[in-house]
Amino acid sequence: MIQSIDYSAIAVPLILALTAGLVLLLDAFLPARPGGGRLLGVVALGGVAVSLAVLVAQAVRGGERRTFCVPPSLGLAESCSFVLDRFTLVFTALVLAAGVVVVLLSMAETSGGRVPVGEWYFLLLGTLTGAVLLAASRDLIMLVVSLELVSLPVFALTAMRRYDGRASEAALKLFLVSVVSTAIMLFGVSLLYGVTGSVHLDRIAAFYASGQSAAPAGVGQGVTTVAIVLVLAGFGFKVAAVPFHFWAADVYQGAPIPVAALLSVISKAAGFAGLVLILTIALASQAAVWAPVVAVIAALTMTAGNVLAMRQRHAVRLLAWSSVAQSGYILAPLAAFAGVPRDAVDASVAYLAFYAAMNLVAFGVVMLVSRTRERNDLDDYQGLAFHSPVTALSLAFSLICLAGLPPGLAGLFAKVVVFRAIVDGGLGWLAVVMAVNTVIGLYYYIAWTARLFTPLSTGTTRSGSAPVAVAVGLAVIVTLVFSVAPQVVLSAVG
């Protein structure tokens, strides 16, 4: 039997992969000349833009497309490894939009000559390809392979600055953490396969829904519980959830800022996509087992992230711990899945989309400031509004959105959506924990914002970068759209 492939369904990851290969070939065969790195950046940006256009065409066409399918067997329906549905479209749009911003940030990073440009864009496009594939994955093997395709290039991107000891240390920490998390997750995945006899998520769900098990009474459920804990631990490392969060601040600070932005948005989105798929499709009937664990992890994650962020004086480290806290907010609705399954998933995805736009604005401004302030401490932002008012207003708007205060209606609306899902799911205690953490987060977000409008005792000048300015502008526009019409996100994910 020859398996047919729907190339229109896999067009987006295919374009990204071909663009990655084209960038590597151009870097190898084009003669070295001034501006050659910028050409490779334009090619990479063009590939991401074309992929985004194709995605829009797929969304307009509508319907669900499947490929890499196995025929029905043993009374089960046809199962497919790649599914292009609304969930896939939303996550792919998030990844590609963030990818445009990260490529623009990378143009400024690679212009200094400290990194090999061709390899940089090749690895970056490889990460985007993995993230797009992961959102469409509907079997355990493809999920794991896609997740590793997201993770592996990031090690090299983190360490790619020549003669930078901090970057090398960050890459080593990220590598060790990722290896451990992958091993733990693979153990859990292997247990799931051993119990159910299938790798496809829909067939695993059907197995648990039927209540059948070849194992002795109680053994199958026990193995399933261990598998769930291991899978949660593996993905917990990927999304920097407590108690697997310890690597985040050092890696974010040591990595180039575009890579830190990639980790905080694209890599995190890929991790949450995989977690949502496994929990809400394959293990939906086991929600009574995993939902309480997710609730506790969410509460600890948002608390630890906010408390640690309060002590930071370095901009990137503050954003790193803020990102940990935001992971807790994204996890929280999933804990209410048993009570409000559809609202729980929609709330998590919507909050992730809001968070991605707001965080990219912050990282873009941080990169602008880092070009003249290498330490990048919070004190370096003092008086920014008097020298670069547009830049300062962009950062202030982003921080206010992350805090969930008006006029940052995008952040406020995102938190309200999460609160509603948690309360409707009967988790009042978790809503109280989130409310307290929201107040804690106000401290460091407002403190940083206040610095922007505090006059400096001596005048300084600050330089910018055109690609970074464009990246910040795009992210600000998206955040403004979310603030003016937040229902756009809910309608997309609902």
Instruction: Decide if 471 contacts 360 (C-beta within 8 A).
Output: yes
Other beta carbons within 10 Å of 213: 17
Instruction: Decide if 220 contacts 295 (C-beta within 8 A).
Output: no
What distances in angstroms separate CA 217 from CA 87, 211, 212, 220, 230, one per listed residue?
A: 36, 11, 10, 7, 22
**Does the pLDDT value for residue 475 go beyond 70?**
no
**Does the pLDDT value for residue 59 go beyond 70?**
yes
Q: Who's near 133: CB < 8 A, 6+ residues apart?
A: 13, 82, 142, 146, 149
Q: Who's near 416: CB < 8 A, 6+ residues apart?
A: none
So what's the pLDDT on residue 266? 92
Average pLDDT over residues 277-287: 91
- Residues 155-185 have pLDDT tens digits of 889 988 777 788 888 888 888 888 888 899 9
Give residue 103's pLDDT band: very low, low, confident or very high (50, 70, 90): very high
**Does the pLDDT value for residue 471 go beyond 70?**
no
So what's the pLDDT on residue 460? 47
Other beta carbons within 10 Å of 172: 15
Phi/psi class of residue 198: alpha, beta or left (left: φ > 0; alpha: ψ in -120 to 50)?
A: beta
Report for 201-210, 215-224, 322-331, 361-370: range of highest mean pLDDT = 322-331
> Among 301-305, 404-408, 436-440, which stretch is predicted with the lowest mean pLDDT?
404-408
**Does the pLDDT value for residue 211 go beyond 90?**
no
- Mean model confidence pLDDT for the chain: 85
What is the C-alpha separation between 312 and 309, in angstroms, rounded?
Answer: 5
Decide: residue 261, CB within 10 A, 0-12 exposed, 13-18 middle, 19+ buried.
buried
Instruction: Decide if 466 contacts 64 (C-beta within 8 A).
Output: no
Structure tokens at 472: 């910040």
Report for 31-45, 176-190, 403-417: range of highest mean pLDDT = 176-190
- Tell me the three state secondary structure of residue 79: strand
So what's the pLDDT on residue 455? 81
Average pLDDT over residues 378-391: 85
String of DSSP letters for 12-25 = HHHHHHHHHHHHHH
- Tell me the three state secondary structure of residue 455: coil
Instruction: Decide if 471 contacts 398 (C-beta within 8 A).
Output: no
So what's the pLDDT on residue 292? 93
Average pLDDT over residues 329-347: 88
